[in-house]
Amino acid sequence: MNPHPYPPRQPYRPGWAPPPRPSMEVHRLHWATAPLRSLNIVVVYFVLIGMWLLLDPDDWFTLDPARILLFLLVTFPVALVAGAVGVWTWWAVRFWIDGDDLVVDTGVVRSRIRRIPLSRMQGVDVVSPLLGRLLGLAEVRLELAGGSSAEITLRYLGRRRAQELRAELVALAAGLPGHTPEAPERPFCRVGFGALFLSLVLRVPVLLAFALFVALVVFGIVTGELAVLGVAIPILLGLCREVAAPLVMYARFRSSIAPDGIRLRFGLLESRLQTVPPGRIQALRVVEPWMWRQFGWARVEMTVAGYGGERQALSSTLLPVGPREAAFAMVSEIFPGAPVEGVALTAARSRWRSADAAGISREVFVSRRGRFCRTWDVVDFARAQSVRLTASPVQRLLGLGTVQVDVPPGPVQVAAVDWELAQARGLADETVARTGPARARSGSLERWAG
């Protein structure tokens, strides 16, 4: 869980030849895609129909020759069709890189071409499901900005080819020639399994739920009352959702920083390599739950434009748990400039929000809130969409106002709550005044690097 103290960048080795340029020709998916897809269909068929043809529901353990014959007669054509469909779908998908676009053709008789401008790409994930990992296969997912069909999945490629394609897409999106070798990366942080497990368990709601669960089970055993299961089982499921699911998902978490973006690797069963270009991160949030603060731990979440709904939730974690120094180092790595903790914050004026505070530096707007679970929200001025100053009737009686900086939908909400009204207006004006130069500094966001 220790952040690496910035090891030197790996020198470029001239002896290592760059991989052959994949953008030259038309590609197909890995051949194993065809049998895998056929197998999928056959398994579904067997469970839904085949099994019932083969087995007699009244007598499970003897096989009737007539039934076997019927089963073979039905299964053989089904297997043929499944094989044909597998080969067909494998043969149909072709993709190649044409200039700045990735072109995917999914038509067999007539071509059905989809062009994806790489400048609109928000991120590239390489995902290996459990089965795929055993066979050395992986799928490549492209996240695009906006739209409902804003995700492209290439399933499956050989693991090596998937890595090459990822490197090439990232390089092209960064405006570099396609044969650029994969950018060297600098390890940043690594989360051990024990630390992840402890961090997921050591949260007040989780511990309370667990205590309630144990109490219910003990009560149930003592009194012999089975009705407690009706409450205990939902609690157990909730605990699985809150502890076991993130544990499996974020196990073996490693993050590293490369010129073309931040690379996150994680997953126990389904391993995932997520590439997040820094220019695409709109806002960040550092969360310090009350219990984690006793150990000096924190979590980092991000808002990436274009990830909507479920994908937003799945891919908004930048660091599942880490020392708070590493968390804030991560934030300064993405939004360079003054450290977030060094920004002078002004506390809210109202008594019931006195734990909240906000402030600005030259580059970022920072707001902190929460007495127990402390949350820091950070947005770079260059990514601020609009600024709002509001005063509700109650706030106006007290002479207070709230300044909100609007960012694309995601976990982060940046707001300076309950400031003195005149100061709040000053803050809003100042925030807007700083967005212009910040945008000029960050340059065009059409490209990743630079």
Partner 1 sequence: MNEQPQILPPQPYRQRTREEAFAPPEGARWWRISSRHKWYRRTVALVVALLAGPIGAFVVARTGGTPGAIVWGAATVLAFVLAWLVAEQDYQAWGFLERGDDLVITSGVFQRRIVIVPYARMQFVDVTSGPLEQVFGLATVRLHTAAATTDAAIPGLPVAVADQLRDRLAARGDEGAGL
Judged by the rule CB under 8 A, the positions of this chain that interact with partner 1 are 145, 282, 305, 336-338, 362, 384-393, 396, 399, 401, 404, 406-409, 420-422, 424-426, 428-430, 432, 435-436, 439, 441, 444-446
For partner 1, which is the closer residue by CB, 216 or 438? Answer: 438
**To the nearest whole angstrom, how small is the minimum distance from the Cβ of residue 342 to partner 1?**
10
For partner 1, which is the closer residue by CB, 205 or 450? Answer: 450
Going by C-alpha positions, the residue among 353, 354, 357 that lies closest to residue 340 is 357
**To the nearest whole angstrom, how small is the minimum distance from the Cβ of residue 426 to partner 1?**
7
**To the nearest whole angstrom, how small is the minimum distance from the Cβ of residue 443 to partner 1?**
9
Going by C-alpha positions, the residue among 326, 355, 354 that lies closest to residue 340 is 326
For partner 1, which is the closer residue by CB, 181 or 399? Answer: 399
Q: Strands 281-288, 271-276: parallel, antiparallel or unpaired by DSSP?
A: unpaired
Going by C-alpha positions, the residue among 352, 355, 434 that lies closest to residue 394 is 352
**To the nearest whole angstrom, how small is the minimum distance from the Cβ of residue 336 to partner 1?**
7
For partner 1, which is the closer residue by CB, 251 or 358? Answer: 358
Please give the DSSP secondary-structure letter assigned to residue 32: T
For partner 1, which is the closer residue by CB, 142 or 191? Answer: 142
| Residue 312 neighbours by CB under 8 Å, 6+ apart | 304, 409, 410, 411
**To the nearest whole angstrom, how small is the minimum distance from the Cβ of residue 77 to partner 1?**
51
**To the nearest whole angstrom, how small is the minimum distance from the Cβ of residue 282 to partner 1?**
8
Q: Residue with structure tokens 């073979």?
A: 72
**To the nearest whole angstrom, how small is the minimum distance from the Cβ of residue 380 to partner 1?**
12
Contact at 8 Å (CB) between 285 and 412? yes
Distance CA 275, CA 126 (A): 9
| Residue 280 neighbours by CB under 8 Å, 6+ apart | 122, 123, 261, 304, 305, 445, 448
**To the nearest whole angstrom, how small is the minimum distance from the Cβ of residue 239 to partner 1?**
33
Say if residue 242 is exposed, middle or buried (CB neighbours under 10 Å; 0-12, 13-18, 19+). Answer: middle
Beta bridge partners of 286: 300, 376
For partner 1, which is the closer residue by CB, 132 or 306? Answer: 306
**To the nearest whole angstrom, how small is the minimum distance from the Cβ of residue 369 to partner 1?**
17
Distance CA 441, CA 321 (A): 31
Distance CA 252, CA 203 (A): 21
Q: For residue 92, what is the enclosing H or E element?
A: helix 65-92
For partner 1, which is the closer residue by CB, 109 or 440? Answer: 440
For partner 1, which is the closer residue by CB, 354 or 392? Answer: 392
**To the nearest whole angstrom, how small is the minimum distance from the Cβ of residue 82 to partner 1?**
44
For partner 1, which is the closer residue by CB, 216 or 421? Answer: 421
Distance CA 431, CA 112 (A): 47
Contact at 8 Å (CB) between 292 and 300? no
For partner 1, which is the closer residue by CB, 106 or 392? Answer: 392
| Residue 68 neighbours by CB under 8 Å, 6+ apart | 54
